Each structure stands twice: as structure tokens, then as C-alpha cells.
Structure 1
């Protein structure tokens, strides 16, 4: 496995240097902004449009990125801009301090308003740059959770099984027989299993010990909402035993 690029290598990289051009001006403009006013300012535009990949030119990339926040607050876009500056290696320590302060001062707003893509980007940023090992360990759970779902749902697409429905006989077998998966791991008894409820109890206990623990819980709740169409939401729809439910209403 290839090792991550060192900070020195990133700093000396010509390509990374090109991707940082103009960052000082952008950072200076950000420093003049008032966070409370940004919360109340909505970005205008014809339609929301997600980016795919990133442009090497920083200004172009940020302009493209802004389309992801049409109809959303300027503070959400500000948050994304900080992440871009950090990832492109511009005064990382200084920009991360702003990022960290933003989260501690506006965590409820950010958790409620940011979509899951940007919540995970926030998790990645804390994991990469925070000195708080407990927080990094908490948020790594969210990253693993969402990345596993991305793989599983992408496999459904690749194998053209995204519209598959549960087989009644197999559903019954999961209730009455052990499904061997790998290395001693058994299948999930869809409908009654207490595995996810117990996992949720443990997550709640861990996240209550940190001011930003709600970030992990919000992501865990989102992946099983009925409109999410993930393995969590589909298994929730098939769940029949109330006392082993793993979600909150």
C-alpha cells in the first residue's frame, strides 16, 4: 500500500503549489466574514449541482463548488471552503484552527444543515488534523460506516441488484438458521436481531462523552432514514421487534 504524501513532499510539490495559487487572497476574504451573518445568508442560483472531481485552479474549483450550495446558507459554503484550503495545504494549522472553532461555535447548525457528504468531509478533516485522539476515534466510526455503505450500494448497482426484493424463504431462514458469512461471523437476523440496537447503545455512550459526538450520531441516524435507500433503511423497514429497534424517531 502506498504511504500518504508527507507534509514536506506536499509543500514542495509543484502540482500542489499550483492548486494553492490564490489561496492567500481567499483566506483573507474569509477572515473578513461574520459567521452569524453567513448563517442567515442564502446562496442564490438556478439549481443545485454537485461537482465531480476537482479543478486544479483553486478559484475555478471553489466557483464550481458553490453550485453545491444553491439554496443553502453561506456558512455551509464557508465551511467547505475551509476544507478545500486545508486539503490543498494552505497554512493548514491556521485554517484548521478556524475550522475547529467554527465547529465548536456552530455545531448544532452544521450538524443539522450540512448534507452527509460534507459531514463526512468534516470527520475526515478532524481525523487528519485534530490533536484530540478521542474525537478522531469517534469520527472514524462515521467514516467507516459511510464508506462501507458506499461500497455495498455501489456493488448493488454493479450487479444490477439495486431493485431486488427480499426472498420470503430466505427471510425465514435468517430467523431460524445460522447464516455463515466469514471467519466465524454470522448473518444478520433481519427483523429481530439486536446487534444494531446494542451497537447504537454503545455509540450513544461514547458520543455523550464529547461535545462533537453528535456528529457521529447524526450520520448514523441519516443512513437509516426511509428516504436514504441504504441497507440500514431497508433492514429498518423489515424490522418487526420494537425492543431491538436501533433508530430514534
Structure 2
């Protein structure tokens, strides 16, 4: 059987020849070079690009031409963005400078939040493509190549759509399906029940989670993709809804979309305030902690300028409610039987579900501008007045993700440890800091690494989770991880607290294990309980959680130790007065 002529004359030899012509290396003129691998990045963030490119004004080298082109693109923007573009331009070609890939890796390892907040989507896609060619790990290369194929094919078919007369957010009419076959005898995507889109996106998301350097970029791009109102995934979702209605009208289907295939939330206008003097923020918490701990939590956030601290008492305690209610900026809700009887749902068995429920009710009813859903052992630690930082938040971001730091037990003043990544190290640092247990701890923490969110209020259909937000059933993707607000987590402030909560955390709380493969924290603690009992648990606590001189020195030497005095007793005295004598 005679084969049709190839789409590209000359076939793949011609394709490869054309492709390789685009990869000739950039030539540097006299005195021209990329910055060294160890360049200080902070001045590059502070200095601004001069679009006239005076640095290479008289040069005619190919490097200078690219430098001038990027200077025009990034005029008045931070020089770090131009450096990022220069690295990509070199890495797309053969024979780039020897340290070029390592410097690109360093930028994303140390400054991912900064880059994600300032690069447009086109440059982010270029970065993910560069990871595909020059990734330092197999995960980076595989994910970079997979996402490159995805975005490249999107560019091709969305360009073709421009000539179809259809708008990017205009779904095709499902009643006008052509009888023509798909290329290469492929079956068509099943609009009513197909999972190709979910499987494709879900696997890419999971792959990204395996590598801490590429994860922020890949997750951000995928979030942008599923929230874009004008793309193939959104159009197929709209067409799925059309098809479901069509089948229901015909009596052929009454099924609902599977739980793992939620409808994509439509974008909503974000309420934005940029004047710090008018911004009112607050916190919401469900707790059964003793009064002193709740008072410490509330007083700390009142001292930071919270307009309201909302406390849901999971276990009714009149003395706690009366004491906290002395301050008019503290709202106390006692979640007793009568209160739950007045809710739309009965009291949930799992405390995590109760936490999400009450936080969402608070969000829907609040008159604040921003609301943080945090626990009573978590303390916001902003670098500046929080209202100022919230006023400066990008207007297209619905929430700020606040990274956690973990308090060292017994530290006075309070000391907090960071993850290696926050200090610019990789996970190989963990066994250096925690010699016995480091290889089995996520980030060296015994508590969560996900952080918590402070969200803009006034968004209809928004639901607050423990570490997440959803809008009309879909994850909220436009959230920005920040570095100028930390979440000080007093997860194990002393041995007694750690031991008292251990059984609950192992069975119903944060130490539960989500997967069966890796030997994680739950396995470590189970092994110690079984083989060494209290002695083993105490050895674990002393190495990982306690503010011992040895641990603090190892952390300090690696830039992983932060001192943030909380002055909690003084704050309680200021905002509430003396605690009742019966309070321990």
C-alpha cells in the first residue's frame, strides 16, 4: 500500500536539520560572560534593567544581541529576571558555559517564590522546557519533557483554533459531532465519562511533587492551566456538562460526575484593598486546648494587629469562654449540643472535618478583609506589620500560603527551625542535622510542611480546609507562597505535650501515614515504641525537637535557625489581664 507524502518534505532528516540550525551556541564578545555560579542574587533582585543595555552597547556578538533583546523585554524589572532569560537562551543551544545549568538550577532552588511572582506564563513555560533538557534529576527531566510536549501541543492546536472563528472560552456544540475519525485510528475522548484529562493532569501533578526544585514551577503552571477560562481543558469541561444534560434529557444517564472529576471553578473578581490603614484581618480556630494556650494564641495575634480572633470551643468551657470574651476583639463560639443542632450538618466525628466546617462558616459570615485558618499552637510571624504585607499582595492572588517553621522545645527566647530547602540546602542535609532520624523525616519536621493560608474574604463559594482552599469544588490555584510571613508552629513545645498528644496523633491526627511504601515518621515512632519504649521516644524527642546546644549549633551553622521571641505572658497580661488561678 502506497504511503501518503510526509507532512514535512524530506521527512525526519529534514526536520532534524532544521531543528539543529536553531541550536548554534551564543558567541561571547571580549569581556562578556554570564555571572559566576556563586553570584550574590540579592543585588540582582534590587537592581533594575536598563532597556538600552549599556553593558553591551558597542558589541555585535550573538550574546550581546540576545542581551539587548532581553533588556528591552525586562526594562525597569529586576536584573534577576534578565539573568534567568539569559540562562534559558544559552541552555537552548549547544556548548553553553559550563556553569550555566547549575546557575539555572540555583535560581529555582533559592528563588522560586520570587520568580513565580514576577515571571509571566510564557517565561515559566520556557523554564519548564529548560528543566526537560537540563534537569539535575530524572524527575526534573521527565516532568520537564512531559510538560513541554503538553504546552507545545496546546500552542499548536490553540493557534489552529484562532482560524476557526471560535472564541477561546467557546465550547463546541456537542450535537454537531463530525463522523470523521481521529488520526492514527485513535478512539475519541468520551465526553460523558472520559478520564484522559484528569489522568494526564493528575499524573503530572504527582510527578512534580517528587522533586522540591521543580515542584513550585510545575504546580504553578498546572494551576494556571486548570484555572484558565479559555483553553482545551475548560472547553472540554463545558462540553462534558452539555453532554450530561443532553443524556439526562434523553433519559439515558442520571449519573453525576465522579468525585475525582470536579467541575472547574469559574474565576470570580477578587476584592482588593491596597491601603494598609483600611485592611482588617483576623484568625479562626477550633480548639479544645486549655485556657493558657488559647490565651497565648489570641493575645499574640491581637498584638500583631488582628481585628478579630475567632475561637470555636470544641469542648465547652464556661471559664475559658468568659475569660477570652473580656476582650471585645475576641469572638468565642461554644460548640455545644445546642449550637450543633442549629447547623446545617450534624457534628462530624473527625475533628479535621469540624475544623474545616467552622472555618468556612466563619469565612462566609465575616466582615474582615483577610482570614487565616490556623491552629492554637501556630503563631503568625510577619517581617513587617501584617496589614502592610497584605496590602502589597498581588491583586490576582486569592490567598497567601504561609510556610511553617517548627519551634524547638524549651527554647527561651523562642527558637524555630526551618527545613533545609528554606535555607538553600537539599535533603542530604537532614542526616547531618539529625544523625539518627533525619533520613526518615520530611524536611526534618515532626509537624506539617504544607503551611497554612490567609485568604481574601468575600469570594462566594469558597471553602476553607486545613491547608487548602476550594472554590465551587475545585482547588484554588491562585495562591502565592510568601517568605515575609512565617508560621511558628509550637507543635511539641515540651516533652509532656509531645507525649500527651502522641497516641491521638498516631491514630487520628497528623502522624497517620498516607502511603505504605516509604519508612516515614509513623514507622519510626512505632518502631521506637515497640523496641525501646519511653527511652527510645525520649531519644527521638531530644534529637529532633528539643533546643539542645548541639542541635541549635548544627541548625545555626546551616542557616536553619530563626529566633522570634513571642513574649506570650506579657501579651496575655496586656490584652486580658491575669489568668484565673485554676488555669495550669
Contact 2:130–2:144 (CA<8 Å) still a contact in 1?
A: no
Q: Structure 1 residues 72 and 209 mapped into 2: Cα distance closer, same or farther (>3 Å)?
A: same
1:132 Cα deviation from its structure 2 partner: 1.8
Q: How does 1:40-189 map to 2 (within 5 A)?
A: 40-43=46-49, 57-70=62-75, 72-89=77-94, 91-162=96-167, 165-166=170-171, 168=173, 170=175, 181-182=182-183, 183-189=185-191
SS at match of 1:149: helix
TM-score calculated relative to the size of structure 1: 0.71
Do residues 205 (structure 1) and 211 (structure 2) align?
no
**2:28 touches 2:62 (CA, 8 Å); kept in 1?**
yes
Q: Give the aligned partner of residue 248 of structure 1.
A: 475
Corresponding residue for 2:231? 230
Point out the more displaced range, 207-216 or 90-99.
90-99
Structure 1 residues 221 and 180: alpha-carbon distance in aligned structure 2, compared to 1, 3 A threshold: farther
The Cα of 1:137 is off from its aligned counterpart by 0.5
For residues 25-36 of structure 1, the aligned pairs below 5 Å read 25-28=32-35, 34-36=40-42
Indicate if the aligned counterparts of 1:142 and 1:219 stay in contact, CA closer than 8 A.
no
Q: Is the 8 A contact 1:226 1:234 kept in 2?
A: no
Distance 1:23 1:144, change over 3 A: farther
Q: If you compute each CA radius of gyration, which structure gives the higher value, 1 or 2?
A: 2
Could you tell me which runs of 5 or more consecutive residues in structure 1 were left unpaired when the two chains were aligned: 46-54
Contact 2:29-2:61 within 8 A present in 1 as well: no
On the 8 A contact 2:37/2:99 being kept in 1, the answer is no
- Secondary structure at the counterpart of residue 109 of structure 1: helix
Cα drift, residue 101 of structure 1:
1.5
Q: Which residue of 1 aligns with 2:360?
A: none
Contact 1:226 1:237 in 2 (8 A): no
Partner SS state of residue 93, structure 1: coil
> Could you report, residue by residue, the CA deviation over 1:204-236 in whole angstroms, capped at 9, with x for unpaired residues?
322211112232222222233345x32224445
1:22 to 29, 50, 56: 29
Q: What CA distance in whole angstroms lies between the structure 2 residues aligned with 1:126 and 1:77?
A: 18
Alpha carbons of structure 1 residues 23 and 137: separation in structure 2 relative to 1, 3 Å: farther
How well do the aligned residues superpose, as a CA RMSD in angstroms? 3.9
Gaps of 5+ in 2: 1-11, 52-59, 242-256, 265-473, 477-584
Q: Which structure has the highest helix share of the two? A: 1
Give the TM-score of the pair, scaled to structure 2.
0.33
Is the 1:120–1:143 contact (alpha carbons within 8 Å) kept by the matching residues of 2?
Answer: yes
Judging changes above 3 Å, is the alpha-carbon distance between structure 1 residues 32 and 234 closer, same or farther for their aligned structure 2 residues?
same
Query: Counterparts of 2:161 and 2:98 in 1: how far apart (Å)?
Result: 40
* Structure 1 or 2: more strand by fraction: 2
Aligned partners of 2:182 and 2:188 also within 8 Å: yes
Q: Distance in 1 between matches of 2:61 and 2:233?
A: 36
CA drift of 1:140 comes to: 1.3
| Maintained 8 Å contact 1:127/1:136 | yes
Change (3 A) 1:131 1:37: closer
Deviation at 1:156, TM superposition (A): 1.2
2:5 aligns to what?
Answer: none
Using the alignment, how far apart are the partners of 1:184 and 1:89 within structure 2?
37
